[in-house]
Amino acid sequence: MTLLNLDGYTDLPAGKIAAVVTYLEMLERPASPPADLLPLRAVTSPDLAWYRRLYAAIGLDWLWTSRLLMEDAALAAILHHPANALFVAEGTGGEIGIVELDRRNPADVEISFFGLVPGATGQGLGPRMMAAALAEAWQPETRRVWLHTCTLDHPGAVTFYRRCGFTPYKRAIEVMDDPRLTGAIPREAAPRVPLI
């Protein structure tokens, strides 16, 4: 086992990838949400194949794989849990984004997934979708809304979340098997991350 060097570099074995994870939080409901929220449609008890297709369309190039690799029973237990809230944003061509809220602790709500399909990015929809997500996340009992992103995600993710009102509060390092090398996702995914 390789120990992480906290004052320098740590070599990773071939087949592994690493990301720096940034956790961000919001401790107060936004004062005045914008008037043009992107409408979100609640999806209860989603079909797993449908969910995985949309999840992959949004996140495959950012190496979102956790939900793709889960057994059906484990994924259904999360998605069909009454404290898990899944929302879809729709555009003229169909579904363009997802927001997933974990409300198992109603005072401490996690935005567990937030993303737009590639064709919907860069059009100003992200801030409108986040404003709608925050309107759903903040309930009378909510004291904190939090999320995390990593260096495998869009390079502007931390800046975007900060502009939306989140404050970074913690970092972590995630090391995992490169899912492109295990055959879990196509080798062409995330071409900016070299295969080693």
The two structure tokens encoding residue 5 = 């060097």
Chain centroid, CA 107 distance in Å = 20
Counts of helices then strands in the chain (DSSP H, E): 6, 7
Cβ neighbors of 15 (< 8 A, separation 6 or more) are 177, 178, 181, 196
Average pLDDT of the residues in 9-24: 94
Domains observed in the chain: 16-182 (3.40.630.30)
User: What pTM does this model have?
Assistant: 0.93
Q: Which residues contact 101 (CB under 8 A, 6 or more apart)?
A: 84, 85, 86, 87, 109, 110, 111, 112, 133, 136, 137
d(CA 33, CA 128): 9
Grade residue 92 by pLDDT with cuts at 50, 70 and 90: confident
Taking all residues of the chain, what is their mean pLDDT, rounded to a whole number? 93
Residue 190 DSSP symbol:
S
Rounded to whole angstroms, the Cα distance separating 114 from 133 reads: 9
**Is 182 in a helix, a strand, or coil?**
helix
pLDDT at site 1: 64
Beta strands in the chain (DSSP E): 16-26, 40-43, 84-91, 94-102, 108-116, 144-150, 167-177
Indicate the helix (H) or strand (E) that contains 77. Answer: helix 72-79
Q: Which tens digit of pLDDT belongs to each residue from 169-192?
A: 999 999 999 999 999 899 999 999
